[in-house]
Structure 1
Amino acid sequence: MSPYRPLDRGWTASTASTEPPIEGVPATVPGSVHTDLLAAGLIDDPYLDDNESGLAWIGRARWRYATEFTMSPADDGCDRADLVFEGLDTVATVSVNEIEVGTVANMHRTYRFPVRELLRDGRNTLTVHFESPYRYAEDRRAELGERPGPYPEPYQFIRKMACNFGWDWGPTLVTAGIWRPVGLHTWNTARLAQVRPEVTLNGDDGLVRVHVMVERAADIPLTLTAAVAGTSVRVPLAPGECETVLELRVREPARWWPRGYGAQALHQLTVVLEETGETWRRRVGFRSIRLDTTPDADGSAFTLVVNDVPVFVRGANWIPDDCFPARISRERLAERFAQACDAQVNLLRVWGGGLYESDDFYDLADEQGLLVFQDFTFACAAYPEEEPLYSEVAAEAREQVVRLAPHPSLALWIGNNENFMGYADWGWREPLAGRTWGEAYYLDVLPRVVAELDPTRPYWPGTPYSGDTGRHPNAPEQGTVHIWDVWNDLDYTHYANWRPRFVAEFGFQGPPAYATLRRSVTGGPLTADSSHQKADDGQGKLLRGMAGHLPPPATFDDWHYYSQLNQARAVTFGVERFRALMPYCMGTIVWQLNDCWPVTSWSAIDGDGRRKPLWYALRRAYADRLLTVQGGDLVAINDSADPWSGELSLVRHGLTGEPLAKDSVRVLVPPRSVARIPMARPVATPADPAAELLVAGLGDARTVHFFAEDTAVAFPSADFDAEARPVADGYLVTVTARTILRDLALFPDRLDPDATVDDMMITLLPGERTVFRVRSSRDLDPGALTCPPVLRCVNDTK
């Protein structure tokens, strides 16, 4: 028998509660109760219509998973046999041949149970009994006392993915099941129990200190070898010795760089236990990383520095890509990562209400140069520090730090999401009445774990956090901020009033793509209220956010286009504002990149993986080279490794396209810098703001700036020539403007759910032309591709 035997076949799921009676449903492992019931036809798809609302009983039921496996007499030669669960969700009792081998209560940990003495030749049974997550969490709440949180759900009392219990973008689908692989590991003599490399730079050389722990079945001498980048070392372990450090010095290795700064050099590190041949393999990267928080006259910096080069973070927040994580394949992650990279994103922040993601996630980040900020899994609530949760948190942190430390993409550990803010501003103190709320985790437990097990990386206690508990956590002049007064209360132009050092969350809502919305609503015509909407007064905020910027929507088609467009404009406004502050501000992390289901949310990529207009706006706003109008200045942002020089063209036009004033300026923008160019009064000052606009261009970069909001601009009715021409993989749609066309967009998914378009939100002056490339495997109606609602612009209803 192989030393590791997957136990992923023959599982069944049954209710262990009295109601409802469900017996022997075929179960997929890895998986979850919800997906098993869905596959068996026992529940409707929770992502469609309002089906979610009828499935709360699943999280309140107890479940039993069971399978059988066989052992042969030949298997008796092993000294040890361990049952290994890589993920159990969440409160479970494991039994082999009806003998209990362990209980667990943490979704974020792996478990290994010695079972050699329990196994028998022939048939063996394996059973996992899952307690109701609600019952467990509510029992802990009764023992430890209530703690404040944003929703009437007890997620802070159980070590489980918090957003399972619902969020302002996600459904309440409280899962149970074997969510990561399970197998039987048989071994002799000894095994590699833990391998923890510390990979650093020492001048131009690389240094790897590999901390190894072995578990023994025999007290004999052992030998460990380690090798990386052509360098190897061999270390003996005396009888009874279980820990050692293997040190390798690599002369001038190729370094790992974030995308946009250099290549992602990865080197295979292997550790071998010679007596058994067991081999541990990981790819590592040589790079240095630090967080510069140097005090200055305004407060203190918050700058990520990689290989001694300051990095401006063009980031996006990441949530679990599915409510049922076992459905997230490497291929699906690769698609999301490609979408992030194509949008010029260089960092993903793994948000604390979700998961420590799969190995595939971090491997892909390593390969593609996407930096990762990793939250520990605490979000938006007061967390008890008493047992049994305290020990679970410490064990979880130790395991996850060791697991993720080899990845060069991992740039920063963050203690929590918004819990310092909650304690400061959300009225927690009075209801807490002196009870614990998680502070000891963020300021003591977690930093000690990181310092011990991953000293090569910085730790930051939370976000937002200003670096000192004596300051307000959302102080803009220090640390990280979250900006949610915009969206919740204020117009998006209020971003201009912020002067932050680093923005870790900000965003604006918009609905999913039409095809996604149409799929999620199985009957009847679509309306503005058809989409799932979880945000408090979300629909009202969407409409108020459009007011003053765009015409009132008269139809569903208007609402869908305007609200998506307004989301894109709002985020663009914020990104451009904060990038223009570089190097005072050194990062923006947009909320959010992705969705877990079809919903109106802050995402750039919707729950079916389709790109919303925000995605195209991010690609433009996160470009290496960007022009933006800030106040009376034209700001040229050069976040590339090369100088940017040329003639900056500035032209004030009338709406009919005629130039009213011109200027040109010779500019040189050094690498990784910002140049502010005051604009001459003739081009910067309109005679009639409602009838004029500014166009600026430098090389391939262009920006179009209107002097008034669209609701005040005297747009003519849209007039254009459009032609859709079939090509090998779809269509080329050519649009030639006869009048100005404001934010021209094409939505081919209205005709083919799988169709995509290469660009969106293009403003054309009279006489200008653009070509959209539509990819589709279907024959589409050329006429439909060239008129509303597929082809839209702001002034097409004029």
Structure 2
Amino acid sequence: MKDTTQLTEGWSLRHGDALLDARVPGCVHTDLLAAGVIPDPFVGLNETEVAWVGRQEWTYTARLAHDSAHERTDLVFDGLDTAAHITLGGEPVGTTRNMHRGHRFDVTGRTGELEVRFASAYDEAAAVRAVTGERPNVYPEPSQYIRKMACGFGWDWGPTLVTAGIWRPVRLEHWSTARIARVRPLVTVADGTGRVEVRLDLERTARGEGRPLTASARVAGTTARAETTVTGDGAVLRLEVPDARLWWPRGHGDQPLYDLEVVLTGDDGPLDTWRRRIGFRTVVLDRSADEHGTGFTLVVNGVRLFARGVNWIPDDVLPSRVTPERYRTRLTQAAEANVDLVRVWGGGIYEDDAFYDTCDELGLMVWQDFLFACSAYPEEQPLRGEVEAEARDNVVRLMPHPSLVLWNGNNENLWGFRDWGWEPALAGDSWGEGYYLGLLPRIVAELDPTRPYTAGSPWSGSWDHHPNDPAHGTHHSWEVWNRQDYAEYRASVPRFVAEFGWQAPPALATLRRALPGERLAPDSPGMLHHQKAEDGNGKLNRGVERHFPLPEDDFDRWHYLTQIVQARAVAAGIEHWRAHWPVCAGTVVWQLNDCWPVSSWAAIDGDGRPKPLYHELRRVYADRLLTLLPGADGPVLAVVNQSAEPWHASVTLRRQAADGTPLHRAVLDVAVEPRSVVRLPVPDGAAPAAGSAKEFLVADADGLRALHFPVPDKDFAYPRPRYDVTVEPVPGREDRVDVVVSAHTLVRDLLLQADRLGPEATADRGPQTLLPGERTRIRVSGCGARDASDVRSALFCVDTA
């Protein structure tokens, strides 16, 4: 049987003439941090002080000694970042130039000092650029000339921290006769029977050539078995599972997973074993043309879905620090916000298996980008061969996961070619089109024909339409954040909104940790350094000014309002687009998470703290949604039911004066079929007059609430908010309290910023609006004993009086 030795101990990192202890897996930055050589690049302005790290050559060394009776010993790297020259005992082993793939080298009988020398990524990129020529890029960094995590070179939400190192596990594998080189399980289901076609590739030693071997596979223990004799380098085994339980996206059913085991056996017993978990489900991408344009609807197990998605970036700009536990925490946060799809964005990485394992278990569909983003990519060597090898490696690695539902060729590059001035600048040079429309779809069709592929995001399906045409395929909506008020989300109904979003700063506790000692202001040095978007603060301020007086010299108020506007903006888009299902078949918010502490579009900040947006996602992505939308003839009530059960909603509509006086009441009985939407005009008398600054509309049904104000907040006649606050201990839980707020007036967007009560404190809900006489109970965890005066200092609401 194959033996494996993990090489995690005894590594050193050469830094000038000094040797530092190195942690493997890891990276240069984490080792330098551990040794105290560099300051934390996430704190203050330290990012600029450590820029030199990415421009140096670095060498990892370890003593390699092994004694094996096997015929063959392989040195296996799951990930090297990035351009590396490897020697053992002073003799060459191999070279690498791709962070996104694994590498295997025959080191049979060889021992001595193992040295992995990493060139500067900048030097490697310059060498490739000298061969391929210049290509356009949105950012002034050479990310398109090296197969490396692009966002490590800096992005409009990320720092420039160009890593190097042995970032994924490394091991020795000792084997004889033959080993399992690759397994591709093609999983399908039809008429209740699950089918697994296991395509198996072998590698043999010289002594093992032509020797008959036995390959066997089984699913769910002994439920389904297959066995065959192998005399060459490949085999196909077919298994059937009668009455297979279907894997469903969360909210639509359960996520049963089946153990699949493949065993290779020789005359003397087992030689190698491969194990994964699989799930039975079908997935189709419906791109049919209709009277509205060209659709983009995911169909899982025959059910058409409105995808409730978020975009995922690397959870740390030093990705070797992201543990399985951290993946589970962040993805559980997504699931608890009623998310059912996570798009792994193309400027990051193919995530660790722990990411996809967790998505399998939680029912989170995964849309996986191939790793190309916001740049023109040369298609010449040496990049083309690396791109193909990388794609093949990762398609095979990820295809067992039932959560993976879509392969996507790139992020914004087809759009960039058409709209960002690339076409004339390229003057006929290659730029990636051959990857997205040729190489990658061929690889997916060959290796993983059970899943759909799309050439890019955004992409209209062909060059017959503009790449970002909202009527065709996927659409990225960025005019709103960049130039318009969020109300403009309601101006169109794209077929699928794959990116849209609005910025806000992180939680106050996150800012205080990242900017210690700084007097916080929107334009203080640290705040500006941790704002990477072009004119980011200007856009934040203009977003606030359209709805509220912009606070002057009041950072706490500015912080609250920018976070509220972010939550309202994203909610406005999702409410509108969900109300237009099935024409619009999904929204993917930019973005779920951050890779460091920064003002950004994230719902969860770089320290893992939820922003108000996170809580709004939980509301607007729930199976049932009640919303009031502006219409040409007055507000429209939309009742959205994405559940599998019908919803009979009794909707109470109340027109109220700003001071709380009831003016009109109506009740509508609305029957909504499963996975459908009912839109109704608000009856005469219930709707406030257009442009009224003294009346608003409330809709309530089954614990859900929607609001309609005819004018922006700054023009509405809000009373001065008045409310009482009491704090109640939670029996048996000293770390928790219940905050009870009782309103005497209209209290709009009441928010408890729990981290102001303690850096580890969290609240179980976000912004909420109370009418006079209403009360709410907010559970706060991790804050210890607090009194009402403490809590009042952490409470904010709209106050324009």
Do they fold alike, i.e. is TM over 0.5? Answer: yes
Q: Give the TM-score band, short-chain normalised.
A: over 0.9
Q: In 1, distance between residues paired with 2:788 and 2:662?
A: 34
Cross-structure match for 1:676? 679
- Within the candidate set 646, 666, 671, 2:669 is matched to 666
Cross-structure match for 1:416? 410
Matched residue SS, 2:520: coil
Cross-structure match for 2:766? 760
- 1:449 partner letter: I
Cross-structure match for 1:545? 543
**2:708 aligned with 1:720, yes or no?**
no
Q: Contact 1:724–1:783 at 8 Å: present in 2 too?
A: no
- Deviates further, 626-635 or 734-743: 626-635
Residue 522 (structure 1) shift: 1.6
- 1:6 partner letter: Q
The C-alpha deviation readout for 1:34-64, integer Å capped at 9, x for no partner, is: 1100110000000000100122211111011
Q: In 2, distance between residues paired with 1:22 and 1:473?
A: 52
Q: In 1, distance between residues paired with 2:43 and 2:786?
A: 27
- 1:759 partner letter: R
Q: In 2, distance between residues paired with 1:771 and 1:781?
A: 15
Q: Once superposed, which parts of structure 1, at least 4 consecutive aligned residues long, lie more than 2 Å away?
A: 69-72, 685-688, 777-782
**2:167 aligned with 1:179, yes or no?**
yes
Q: In 1, distance between residues paired with 2:783 and 2:213?
A: 60
The C-alpha deviation readout for 1:742-766, integer Å capped at 9, x for no partner, is: 1000012112100000112111111
Cross-structure match for 2:149? 161
**2:10 aligned with 1:10, yes or no?**
yes
- 1:106 partner letter: N
Residue 705 (structure 1) shift: 1.8
Residue 433 (structure 1) shift: 1.4
- Deviates further, 717-726 or 335-344: 717-726
**2:647 aligned with 1:654, yes or no?**
no
**2:638 aligned with 1:635, yes or no?**
yes
**2:604 aligned with 1:610, yes or no?**
no
Q: Contact 2:480–2:486 at 8 Å: present in 1 too?
A: yes
**2:289 aligned with 1:295, yes or no?**
yes
Q: In 1, distance between residues paired with 2:518 and 2:249?
A: 47
- Within the candidate set 113, 135, 139, 2:105 is matched to 113
- Within the candidate set 177, 195, 218, 1:189 is matched to 177
Aligned residues: 781
Q: In 2, distance between residues paired with 1:760 and 1:157?
A: 43
- Within the candidate set 769, 780, 785, 1:779 is matched to 785
- Within the candidate set 140, 150, 155, 2:128 is matched to 140
C-alpha change, 1:171 and 1:386, in structure 2 (3 Å) is same
Q: Contact 2:85–2:116 at 8 Å: present in 1 too?
A: yes
Residue 324 (structure 1) shift: 1.0
The C-alpha deviation readout for 1:667-719, integer Å capped at 9, x for no partner, is: 10000000011111211133872111111112222112212111001111111
**2:498 aligned with 1:504, yes or no?**
yes
Q: In 1, distance between residues paired with 2:360 and 2:6?
A: 27
Cross-structure match for 1:708? 711
- 1:645 partner letter: H
- 1:179 partner letter: W
Cross-structure match for 2:215? 224
Give the TM-score normalised by structure 2. 0.96
- Deviates further, 607-616 or 521-530: 521-530
Q: In 1, distance between residues paired with 2:393 and 2:622?
A: 37
- Within the candidate set 420, 423, 428, 2:422 is matched to 428
Cross-structure match for 2:737? 731
- Within the candidate set 62, 83, 92, 2:84 is matched to 92
Residue 726 (structure 1) shift: 2.4
- Within the candidate set 781, 793, 796, 1:792 is matched to 796
Counterpart mapping for 1:362-761 below 5 A: 362-529=356-523, 530-531=526-527, 532-554=530-552, 555-630=554-629, 631=631, 632-686=635-689, 689-727=692-730, 728=733, 729-761=735-767
- Within the candidate set 261, 265, 277, 1:270 is matched to 261
**2:48 aligned with 1:53, yes or no?**
yes
The C-alpha deviation readout for 1:162-196, integer Å capped at 9, x for no partner, is: 00100000000000000000011001111111111
Cross-structure match for 1:18? none
Residue 528 (structure 1) shift: 1.5
- 1:259 partner letter: R
Q: In 1, distance between residues paired with 2:114 and 2:83?
A: 16
Residue 142 (structure 1) shift: 2.1
Q: In 1, distance between residues paired with 2:643 and 2:790?
A: 40
Q: In 2, distance between residues paired with 1:744 and 1:449?
A: 52
Q: Contact 1:7–1:183 at 8 Å: present in 2 too?
A: yes
Q: Contact 2:727–2:786 at 8 Å: present in 1 too?
A: no
Residue 212 (structure 1) shift: 0.3
The C-alpha deviation readout for 1:409-437, integer Å capped at 9, x for no partner, is: 00000000000110000001121111110
> 5+ unaligned residues in a row in structure 1: which ranges?
16-20
Q: Contact 2:689–2:710 at 8 Å: present in 1 too?
A: yes
Question: % of aligned pairs identical?
Answer: 53
The C-alpha deviation readout for 1:384-419, integer Å capped at 9, x for no partner, is: 000000000001001100001110000000000000
The C-alpha deviation readout for 1:729-785, integer Å capped at 9, x for no partner, is: 311111101111110000121121000001121111111100111001533344111
Matched residue SS, 1:682: coil
Q: In 1, distance between residues paired with 2:53 and 2:542?
A: 37
- Deviates further, 473-482 or 269-278: 269-278
Q: In 1, distance between residues paired with 2:40 and 2:188?
A: 48
Residue 69 (structure 1) shift: 3.1
Give the TM-score normalised by structure 1. 0.97
Q: Contact 2:2–2:176 at 8 Å: present in 1 too?
A: no
Q: In 1, distance between residues paired with 2:226 and 2:380?
A: 44
- 2:166 partner letter: I
Residue 228 (structure 1) shift: 0.7
Residue 666 (structure 1) shift: 1.2
Q: Contact 2:278–2:402 at 8 Å: present in 1 too?
A: yes
- Deviates further, 677-686 or 372-381: 677-686
C-alpha change, 1:687 and 1:6, in structure 2 (3 Å) is closer
Matched residue SS, 1:760: coil
Residue 70 (structure 1) shift: 2.6
Q: Contact 2:2–2:272 at 8 Å: present in 1 too?
A: no
Q: In 2, distance between residues paired with 1:204 and 1:225?
A: 24
Matched residue SS, 2:686: helix
Matched residue SS, 2:387: helix
Matched residue SS, 1:160: coil
Q: Contact 2:341–2:367 at 8 Å: present in 1 too?
A: yes
Residue 525 (structure 1) shift: 1.8
Q: Contact 1:417–1:462 at 8 Å: present in 2 too?
A: yes
